[in-house]
Structure 1
Amino acid sequence: MRSPERYELIFADAAVPGAEDVVVVHRTDSSGPGGHPVYADDTGIVRAEISDRAEVRMIASGGQQVYAAAVSARPVA
């Protein structure tokens, strides 16, 4: 089974309960360190490896990036 073409990445803000940022990412031709597809936003700045169980591993695209600890993914239909 092929992974979804697009996901929404949901970044929760621990300092503000209920606050979240959502970024839509699309499947690339790359695979991450875990062997799962890499997804990226249109800018290429937000990159994540997403498993077939929607487990997210963020991939830094620059030297100073630090991502929130709470990131989840949901497929976009």
Structure 2
Amino acid sequence: MTTKRYELVFPDGPDTAGDTVEVSDTGQTGPGGHPVYADATGIVRAEISDRGEVRILPTGGGQEAAHGVRARPLPDA
């Protein structure tokens, strides 16, 4: 069964816990063949593998790829 929601944790500096964004399954598949998740605005989009590997997908020009993002499964609403 595929998880429908995740909390993405973006790393910050060493003294902070990082920023978090909640994403939900879009029903789409990313370039790696894994489900694509997006936040409510559609600005943050990520492909998340069944092993929890996160690939942030660009949604606009000038975006830089985020590295070290972790995905925490959330209970389905």
- The two structures have a TM-score, normalised by structure 1, of 0.89
2:68 aligns to what?
A: 70
2:33 aligns to what?
A: 35
Using the aligned pairs only, state the percent identity.
Answer: 57
Q: Output the aligned Cα RMSD.
A: 1.2
| 8 Å Cα contact 2:36-2:47 kept in structure 1 | yes
Is the aligned partner of 1:24 residue 2:22? yes
Is the aligned partner of 1:9 residue 2:35? no
Shift >2 Å, 4+ stretches: 15-19
Q: How many residues align?
A: 75
| 8 Å Cα contact 2:45-2:59 kept in structure 1 | yes
Structure 2: gaps (5+ residues): none
